[in-house]
């Protein structure tokens, strides 16, 4: 039985990964270490309550004793690190926590994995172990109108979030280059799908449209993101964990580039048709002050993961966005709960001067 330490899996991509893995494998153990920050939500994991293949542990990836004790208890084969502060706007307002979690937390996981997996007497790594860092295309910076990010594009992050993720990637590479640690890094484009916290573009806009609230489009709305349905990202992570060549970086993306304003108008059109609600129209769009240092365009070249591992995205955007909107409409209570309380003060603060 393969045993995984998965971190940050009460959040968006991680919870989707738990469901993906439990559906695919019978003989598996997933130990899910999550601090339950504002972005972590045990409700996201309700579907696997009572499943003995998934064990939830509340805790911080920066906690040395806790992470060491988990290695001692479970003798993990894999570490897959999803845990992070993940929102660019929050990193612009408050960068320190991004260094703490994304950089220091990653280094702590690497250190604890090295202690558990490196045999100091034999001077070799135990068989079958791997550390996988879930990273982002944002470490490459921004593209102009032409070209795509490849794995050899220079690291050139702009936001504090992207800089913390880039720094973590460098540490992961350093553990491979210096100590020979078996690692992979995945760098994925923008994900969308169920359980995404509504600070991010798609769920925020769905929620605002439903409530006839203004739709805050940063700047001209012509920034481009490369959208990937979350299940396709989970599939890529599983493939890289199992078959990725040790030490390699894999970009993940599906050539689904869309300007933000297109995404917003698609959500308006979809909800207008489905809810037959006269209060829903493009008049809700408000172009607001742009994000500081806003990256203009991301676009992934996924040829390496396709050629080496046979990965390809299964969900076209037109299908994925409908599934996603369906999910948020069917899970109104989830949305109501995550947008009550501190979300209201976050929203008021983040959008007040825009
Ligand atoms: P998220 O914000 O939805 O979830 C992050 C999770 O990490 C939460 O459950 C939170 O409680 C947990 N966490 C935060 N700090 C922690 C700590 N110190 N210790 C333990 N747990 C902690 O994020 P997401 O969108 O699911 O992203 C997951 C990972 O994927 C991140 O590393 C992110 O950088 C990367 N990524 C995200 C996207 C995207 O579009 N969302 C794309 C590419 C890569
Ligand atoms: O590219 C991968 C990255 O995608 C991940 O590493 C990050 O964790 C994830 O948050 C995401 O980053 P973005 O900054 O691209 O995602 P976000 O949903 O915050 O914004 C998407 C685009 O929409 C971006 O150009 C900013 C814009 N935007 C966002 C919000 C929240 C708006 O115009 N208005 C908004 O209110």
- Domains of the chain by residue range: 2-192+229-254+296-314
- pTM check: above 0.75: yes
> Minimum-distance ligand to the CA of 205?
2
Residues with CB under 6 Å of ligand 2 are: 86-88, 136-138, 189-190, 200-201, 204, 216-218, 223, 225, 260, 291, 298
Q: What does 273-338 look like in DSSP terms, one character per residue?
A: HHHT-TT-SGGGEEEEPPPTT---B--B--HHHHHHH-----S-HHHHHHHHHHHHHHTHHHHHHH
CB within 8 Å of 184: residues ≥ 6 apart? 130, 131, 132, 133, 240, 241, 244, 245, 246, 247, 248, 249, 250
DSSP-derived pairing of the beta strands 215-218 and 224-226: unpaired
Instruction: Report the nearest atom of ligand 2 relative to the CA of 162.
Output: 6
3-state secondary structure 119-133: ECCCCEECCCCEEEE
| Catalytic residue list contains 137 | yes
For 305-337, write each residue's pLDDT tens digit: 999 999 999 999 999 999 999 999 999 999 999
Q: Which of 5, 8, 67, 302 has most ligand 1 atoms within 8 Å of CB, for mutation?
A: 8
> Minimum-distance ligand to the CA of 36?
1
* Residue 348: pLDDT band with limits 50, 70, 90: very high
For 228-285, write each residue's pLDDT tens digit: 999 999 999 999 999 999 999 999 998 999 999 999 999 999 999 999 999 999 999 9
Is it the case that residue 184 has pLDDT exceeding 90?
yes
| Catalytic residue list contains 343 | no
| Catalytic residue list contains 74 | no
pLDDT at 304: 98
pLDDT at 353: 84
Phi, psi angle pair for 39, to nearest 5°: -90, -15
Specify the CATH superfamily of domain 2-192+229-254+296-314: NAD(P)-binding Rossmann-like Domain (3.40.50.720)
Compute the distance from residue 161 Cα to the ligand 2 centre, in Å: 11
Helices (H) then strands (E): counts for the chain: 13, 15
């Amino acid at each position: 039985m393969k045993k995984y330490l998965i971190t940050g899996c009460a959040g968006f991509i991680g919870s989707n990964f738990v469901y993906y893995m439990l559906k695919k494998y019978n003989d598996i153990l997933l130990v899910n270490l999550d601090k339950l920050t504002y972005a972590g939500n045990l409700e996201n994991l309700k579907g696997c309550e009572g499943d003995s293949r998934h064990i939830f542990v509340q805790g911080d990836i920066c906690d040395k004793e806790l992470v060491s004790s988990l290695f001692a208890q479970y003798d993990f084969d894999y570490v897959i690190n999803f845990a992070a502060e993940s929102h660019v706007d929050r990193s612009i307002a408050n960068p320190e926590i991004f260094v703490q979690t994304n950089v220091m937390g990653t280094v702590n996981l690497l250190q604890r994995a090295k202690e558990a997996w490196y045999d100091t007497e034999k001077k070799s790594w135990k068989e079958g172990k791997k550390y996988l860092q879930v990273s982002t295309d944002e470490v490459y910076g921004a593209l102009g109108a032409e070209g795509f990010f490849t794995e050899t594009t220079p690291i050139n992050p702009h936001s504090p979030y992207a800089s913390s993720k880039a720094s973590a990637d460098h540490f992961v590479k350093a553990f491979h280059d210096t100590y020979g640690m078996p690692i992979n890094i995945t760098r994925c484009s923008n994900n969308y799908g169920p359980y995404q916290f509504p600070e991010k573009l798609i769920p925020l806009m769905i929620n605002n449209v439903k409530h006839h609230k203004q739709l805050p489009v940063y700047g001209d709305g012509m920034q481009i993101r490369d959208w990937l349905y979350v299940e396709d990202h989970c599939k890529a992570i599983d493939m890289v964990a199992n078959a990725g060549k040790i030490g390699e970086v894999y970009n993940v993306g599906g050539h689904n580039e869309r300007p933000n304003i297109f995404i917003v108008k698609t959500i308006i059109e979809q909800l207008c048709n489905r809810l037959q609600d006269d209060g829903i129209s493009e008049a809700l769009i408000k172009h607001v002050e742009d994000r500081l240092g806003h990256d203009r365009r991301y676009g992934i070249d996924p040829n390496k993961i396709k050629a080496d591992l046979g990965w390809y995205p299964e969900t076209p955007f037109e299908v994925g966005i409908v599934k996603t909107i369906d999910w948020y409409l069917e899970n109104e209570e989830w949305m109501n709960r995550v947008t009550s309380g501190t979300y209201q003060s976050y929203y008021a603060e983040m959008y007040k001067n825009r």
